[in-house]
A and B are shown apart, each in its own frame.
Chain A
Amino acid sequence: MPDVRTHEPDEHDNAYSGLLVNDAHWAFGTDFEDPLAGVDTTVPDGVDPATLATYCLMLGDDALVLSQRLAEWCSNAPDLEEDIALSNIALDLLGQARLLLARAAAADGSQVPALPDGSPVPDEDRLAFFRDGVQFRNVRLAEVPNGDFAQTIARILLFSSWRLALFEELSHSRDAVLAAVAAKGVKELTYHRDFAGRWFLTLARGTDESRRRLLAGLDALWPYWAELFETHEVERATALAGVGVDPAGIAADVDAVVEQVLAVSGVDRPAVPPLAGVQGSKGDKGSTGSKGRDGRHTEAHSRMIAEMQVVARAHPRGQW
């Protein structure tokens, strides 16, 4: 246990009181030194630790990257309520990412970037801030630029519908940590999906301009939609081992939810083909090419990651 701050009993009345006492921790982290402190992180029997860790990175990176995108709305949303809502959703996803990256590190420490001795950076932050873009395993839907508010709503609807169904399955994982993270995430994602579904309907049935923007946003995102249901070999292996979920298996349920929103909104499915992966590259899976789960991303991903990481990478020992 680190040194403990010794505040006065009225510390919560003073915004500055906690800043001056024994606060020597890494400048960019969230301060709780281990989000899984005391949690049993034993890898279940018959599960390859490296595969489990990579799977946790996939689900963690989905949340981390979309959280970073949604955080870009902070102070920029159309009104205060939506600003706060988007930031709250970003915070939920960041929390899920933190637990999942910490679980990845606990399963297989060899995937955590090495830093100089004495570095105060905790494992999950090393994974978030010190991996290169090609080491991120997120689906590309999470990384594309926000577009306008309507496109952001469309993305949250698609992403949360998919992730909610996935987490409902994952809450039965043989890995107790994944099961617990998923069960908690279901409650949060339920609010995210309802929020996006209501706004989708509002924008679709609103003005000509709101509808035009929504349809354009949905068209822009649709090429990334099919990728969410393609089974990566890591997902297949973890599903077979009873710790992960094969995304192909939830496609019908997710489709039914999205169809429900589209139907009530009077919106047709976009006639836009899926975006192909990168052909002929390392890790090529054949005709569809390498995609987000393989670490192959869009150009926007690298710029977003660079902005997210640049300060932390410049000060790997930064303390305050």
Chain B
Amino acid sequence: MTAALRRGPAFDRGQVLGQDPVLGQDPMFDQEPAPGRDSMLERARQAASAVVDPELPMLTLVDLGVLRDVRIDDDGVVTAAITPTYSGCPAMATMRDDLLRELQAAGFADARVRVVLEPAWTTDWITPAGRAALAAAGISPPGPAPRRSGPVLLQLVPPRRAVRCPQCGSDDVVVGSEFGSTACKALYRCRSCLEPFDHVKEI
């Protein structure tokens, strides 16, 4: 990892680890460039890192934790790896097209995009920069994803989250629905300023 790659704070894994241990599991971008190929790999990673999420365009795919890897395969072809946020995520095709377009524009005509399903995406992979961008856009960022050992427990009362209204900062908020405008968001309402807002729910 070189300084040139740091398009945003997302790339500084040391900083991420220092800030929040929950965010330290990111396996992204772990290929060490082969001699003579480091600039090529850097260029590919920079290009891929410019792509934004089609539904949350204030976040890059890196900020969202969806871009899992960019590497040069044994056959010399640049391959980007993405993982769906939810199984039915309808944005996967657009993400692939956008990645290919950026990589081709950067000179990698035969670039590939592959899918990784495991480990499953978690909101813990949203970077601090991504969380800040969500909040700035009026979307409440997720808290820590639930951790469990043993069977998933039934929750018959809505989860109590430490959510604040992204408009006025009040913590007097109420969940309207656990299912919001996209699969990854819950719908909240602020009782202070009366504005509705989205919260990225923890998975």
Q: Which of A157-199 contact B (CB under 8 A)?
A: 164-165, 168, 176-177, 179-181, 183-188, 190-191, 193-195, 197-198
Cα A76 to Cα B181 in complex, Å, equals: 17
Most buried by A among B151, B158, B201: B151
Query: A30: which of B90, B116, B152, B187 is its contact (CB, 8 Å)?
Result: B90
Bound: A200/B167 CA distance, A? 33
Assuming A164-B152, A168-B151, A257-B154, is B87 touching A1 (CB within 8 A)? Answer: no
Please tell me if B29 contacts chain A, counting CB pairs below 8 Å. no
Pick the 8 closest A-B CB pairs, nearest first: A38-B114, A95-B88, A95-B87, A85-B179, A180-B117, A31-B93, A180-B118, A81-B177
Measured CB to CB, the nearest residue on chain B to A186 is B152
Q: In the complex, are the beta carbons of B92 and A188 less than 8 A apart?
A: no
B195 on interface, CB distance cutoff 8 Å: no
Asked whether A177 lies within 8 Å of B156 as measured between CB atoms, the reply is: no
Q: Does A5 contact B (CB under 8 A)?
A: yes
Which among A177, A186, A193 is the interface contact of B154 at CB below 8 angstroms? Answer: A193
Report if B46 contacts A (CB, 8 A).
no
Specify which chain A residues have a CB less than 8 angstroms from the CB of B180 in the assembled complex: 84, 88
A156 to chain B, nearest CB (A): 12
Residue B176, interface by CB 8 Å? yes
B contacts with A: majority SS: loop
Q: For residue B154, which residues in chain A have a CB less than 8 angstroms away from its CB? A: 193-194, 197, 257, 260-261
> Chain B residues near A185 (CB, 8 Å)?
87
* Residues of chain A in range 76-116 having any CB-CB distance to chain B below 8 Å: 81-82, 84-85, 88-89, 91-96, 98-99
Query: Which of the 9-residue segments B5-13, B30-38, B96-104, B127-135 touches chain A?
Result: B96-104
Q: How many angstroms between the C-alpha atoms of A15 and B118 in the bound complex? A: 32
List the B residue with the shortest CB-CB distance to A29.
Answer: B93
Residues in chain A near residue B158, CB distance under 8 A: 198
Bound-state CA distance A35–B95 (Å) is 13
How distant is B156 from chain A, measured CB to nearest CB, in Å? 5
Q: Is the CB of B89 closer than 8 A to any CB of chain A?
A: yes
Which parts of A271-313 form the interface with B (CB within 8 Å)? none
Interface flag for A39 (CB, 8 Å):
yes
Chain B nearest CB: distance from A242 CB in Å? 17
Chain A: which residue is nearest B122 at the CB level? Answer: A187
Is B81 positioned at the interface, with any CB of A under 8 Å from its CB? yes
Flag if A98 contacts B88 (CB, 8 Å). yes
Does any Cβ of A come within 8 Å of B65's Cβ? Answer: no
Q: How far is the CB of B13 from chain A (nearest CB, A)?
A: 24
Q: Closest residue to B185 on the A side, CB-wise?
A: A88
Other 10 A-B pairs with CB < 8 A, given A84-B180, A84-B181, A92-B183: A1-B100, A4-B104, A30-B90, A94-B88, A95-B89, A165-B151, A176-B118, A188-B86, A191-B201, A194-B178
Pairwise interchain contact B87-A12, C-beta atoms closer than 8 A:
no
Q: How far is it, in angstroms, between the C-alpha of A320 and the C-alpha of B113 when the chains are bound?
A: 23
For residue B203, CB closer than 8 A to chain A, the reply is yes
Q: Which A residues form the contact surface with B (CB < 8 A)?
A: 1, 4-7, 12, 18, 30-32, 34-39, 81-82, 84-85, 88-89, 91-96, 98-99, 164-165, 168, 176-177, 179-181, 183-188, 190-191, 193-195, 197-198, 201, 253, 257, 260-261, 264
Q: Are B114 and A37 in contact (CB under 8 A)?
A: yes
* Chain B residues within CB distance 8 Å of chain A: 52, 54, 57, 79, 81, 84, 86-90, 92-94, 96-98, 100-101, 104, 110, 112-121, 151-152, 154-158, 176-181, 183, 187, 201, 203
Residue among A179, A187, A261, A264 making CB contact with B203, cutoff 8 Å: A187
Cβ of A85 and Cβ of B117 under 8 Å apart?
A: no
A1 contacts which chain B residues (CB < 8 A)?
100, 110, 112
Q: Please state if A194 and B156 are interface contacts (CB–CB under 8 Å).
A: yes
Instruction: For the complex formed, measure the closest distance between the CB of B171 and the CB atoms of chain A, giving whole angstroms.
Output: 22
Q: Are B152 and A38 in contact (CB under 8 A)?
A: no
Report yes or no: A39 in contact with B93, Cβ–Cβ below 8 A: no
With both chains docked as a complex, state the minimum distance between the C-beta of A128 and any C-beta of chain B, in angstroms. Answer: 13
Of B98, B104, B113, B154, most buried by chain A (CB within 10 Å of CB) is: B154
Contact between chains at B100 and A198 (CB < 8 Å) = no
